[in-house]
Structures are given as C-alpha cells and as structure tokens.
Amino acid sequence: MKKFLAFASAIAITAGLSGAAMAQEIGVVVKIGGIPWFNAMEEGIHKRAEELGVTAEMIGPVSADPALQVQAIEDLIAKGVDVIGVVPNDEAALEPVLKKARDAGIKVIAHEGPGLSNIDWDFELASAQGFGEAHAKLFSENAEGAGKYAVYVGSLTVPLHNAWADAAIAWLDENRPDLEIVGERYGVAENVDDSRATALDLIAANPDLRGFLAFGSQGPIGAGRAVEERRKTGEIFVLGPFSPGQGRKMVHSGILTGGYMWNPAQAGEVFVTLGKMLADGEEITAGQDIPGLGVVEPDFDRHVIITDNLLELNKDTVDSLADMGL
C-alpha cells in the first residue's frame, strides 16, 4: 500500500510539473518571417524566455498574407499553448480566430494591433500619432520648397501602419500645404522589391517628387535603392522605420534621411513578459513597472498599453543600434 501511495504521489507531482510547464508555453505570430526586424524580435523572444524559464516560439509566415497568420494561430490553438501573441497584418481577418483562441482559454497579446477586440492586451512602444508626426516633421525639415511625396505602408490592411500614415499626412496637410501626396498610399513596405519597383515608377512619373514616407521595415530600403539608382540622393528624401543593420550604409551615404523606430527585440521580450504574467494569472495595473515597458498607464477600456520608447535613426545613432544586432 505504501508503495502504491508513493507511486501515485509521484504521478501527481509529475502531472503537476507537466501542467506548470504547459502553462508557460507561448507562441508569437508575426507579419512575415526572415526579415531583419522580425529576426531581432525572435531573438528578444528567446532571450526573455530563457530568463523566465518558459517555452516560447515565433512563427513568421512566408508572406504578409493574413490567411497565413490565421492558419498559424489555428495551429497554436490545436497545439494547446497558453498564450498567443500576434503582430497583425489584418485586424478584421484575425478577429474570428483570436476569439476562438480566447474561447479555448488561451490568453491573447497583440503588438501593433490597437484596434483588435479579441485580445487580453495590446502593447505599443510608441503612440500612433506621435510616430507618424515625428516622421512628417523630419521630412518637412529636409524637404524645402514645394513638391510631392509618396506614402508606403506594409499593406492597406495593416492597422498601425495606416494610423502612422494618417497622422503624418494630417500633419503635412496642416503645416506644409506646399507638399502634395501622390495618390493615396502604397501597400508595398514589407517587400524590398515591390518598394523599389513602385518607387522607380513614381520617380519616373513625378519629376517634382521630394520624398517617401515609408511605414514598414522594408519600404525605406526598397525606396532608397530606387533613389540611388536614379541618382536622386539629396533631392528625394526617404524616411521611415528600418533595421539599422540593413540600412546603415544607406544612412551614411545620405540615401536614407533617417527615421524613428523602437527596438523589435524589446518588443519580443515584452511579449514573453506579459505572456508569463497572464499565464500566471497576474493582473495588469496602473502605475505598474513592467520590464521592457516601464511604468504603465493602461487604457482598461480598450485593453491597450502605450509607452514612448522611440529611438531616432540617423548618422549618429545607426551604427550603435546596428551593433546591438538590430
């Protein structure tokens, strides 16, 4: 009888340990895999997971197709993870599958998805208005005189990119009416080749083009290559968030004017930090000091946490940021 009780106790302990391990499993689905921005985010995810002793993985689809994100989330639901993180390509397309995840008892954390409803929390390392306006102001400082400019976003359904674009365009409309937007906006900024090809067409069609505001990490790189090919450095200004390691040479040669970003590795760490907190049943509170975010003042109605962690990209900062692995 004693042997049976000891055996039963061992099974119970093992089951308990197994359950605790399962409760710390986190899967993060990003917009697209294999590009520097999300490579850095993945490093942050793994680093923080090791620090906290949890299991975490990042899934990067082969293209910025919302259907691929839906499938990746379906796979994580089937796997039975406790936390799903997502950087959405299309908020509306993800709502049903995120609802399914939450109905299954899975915690959901978003980044760059402040309009999502079926989440526990969304976190942002910059306000949409502040981020867009910062780029508009930097463009205005460099582009003297009248002319046109183009706006890139990752796609027309990426909510945060379009919010940045809205803020930038509104600021320029009010403060620089001599600068006219070309068309509306172009959803090419998550693909270098598409960004370059679109820029070449726009440069050819608009001899008075003064710049590109490219919201999406590959947009500035692609537009910059087109500007370089057409020998328009110093005439056409290219601004936006990009990987410092990918863009450092273009910054020093003057092809990329600069821009602003946050640390994607830091965002990866925050996914894991918040994920563990939620998996452990910890509440998010006002005035709380959360690693990677600082002291937060959450919007409890929208379940959004916004902080100001902007990094400026220019000739003075790009090398040190690149050396950090960004």
The whole model's pTM is what?
0.79
The predicted structure's pLDDT at residue 325: 79
pLDDT in tens, 153-204: 999 998 899 999 999 999 999 999 999 999 989 999 999 999 999 999 999 9
The predicted structure's pLDDT at residue 21: 44
The predicted structure's pLDDT at residue 310: 87
The predicted structure's pLDDT at residue 67: 97
Q: Which segments in the chain show pLDDT lower than 70?
A: 1-23
Question: Tokens in use for 88?
Answer: 């959405």
Task: Give the C-alpha separation, 174 to 83, whole Å.
Answer: 43
Alpha helices in the chain (DSSP H): 2-22, 36-52, 66-79, 91-103, 128-142, 159-175, 192-205, 219-229, 244-252, 264-279, 318-323
DSSP code per residue over 195-219? HHHHHHHHHHH-TTEEEEEEESTTH
Helix (H, G, I), strand (E, B) or coil at 276: helix
Domains of the chain: 2-126+264-310 (3.40.50.2300), 128-261 (3.40.50.2300)
DSSP H or E stretch at residue 79: helix 66-79
CB within 8 A of 252, min separation 6: which ones?
A: 315, 318
Nearest CA to 41 out of 212, 217, 211, 200 is that of: 217
Question: Tokens in use for 294?
Answer: 């600082």
Nearest CA to 269 out of 82, 43, 77 is that of: 43
The predicted structure's pLDDT at residue 9: 42
The predicted structure's pLDDT at residue 309: 86
